[in-house]
Amino acid sequence: MISLNNRDSRPIYEQIKDSLRRLLITGAISEGERLPSVRELASQLAINPNTIQRAYRELEAEGYIYSVAGKGSFAGHVSEVDAKRKSELLKRFEDASLELFHLGFGAEELKKRIEDVISALEVIKND
């Protein structure tokens, strides 16, 4: 479910947040499904509960999860978050593409990279 990479330059809470976001978006965690408690997940991953709490807090701020006092955290309605998240990701994509272009990547090279990603996704989808 969630794997951490100590060699990853991103902080642990971001790795957890990204892993949970991916599970929510792909439907591996269903809408309304209860997430493990902060303590449960911290115990499973052998990390400080404050790290899990930070990831949960940011996911809640982004709308991916919601909390019910005394009951825990639950998967939110991903469809409500999709438009905002798509807009953010497209902006990051545009910024990265522009920077790569200024660093000497040509339009064809960028197009080839996108096609490679799409091909890889199709292979994964068909497995």
Q: Closest Cα partner for 67 from 21, 34, 24, 20?
A: 34
Phi/psi at 19 (5° precision): -65, -45
Domain membership of residue 18 (yes or no) is: yes
Are 95 and 72 contained in the same domain?
no
Q: What is the CATH number of the domain that holds 25?
A: 1.10.10.10
Check whether 127 has a pLDDT greater than 70. no
Residue 63's domain spans which residues? 12-76
Contact present, 36 and 44 (Cβ < 8 Å): yes
Are 65 and 84 contained in the same domain?
no
Kindly tell me the sign of the dihedral angle through the C-alpha atoms of 26, 124, 3, 54: negative
Query: Could you report the per-residue pLDDT of 30-70, keeping only the tens digit for each?
Result: 999 999 999 999 999 999 999 999 999 999 998 899 999 99
Q: Alpha-carbon distance 88 to 23, whole Å? A: 19
Are 94 and 44 contained in the same domain?
no
Residue 87 has a pLDDT of 83
pTM for the predicted model, two decimal places: 0.69
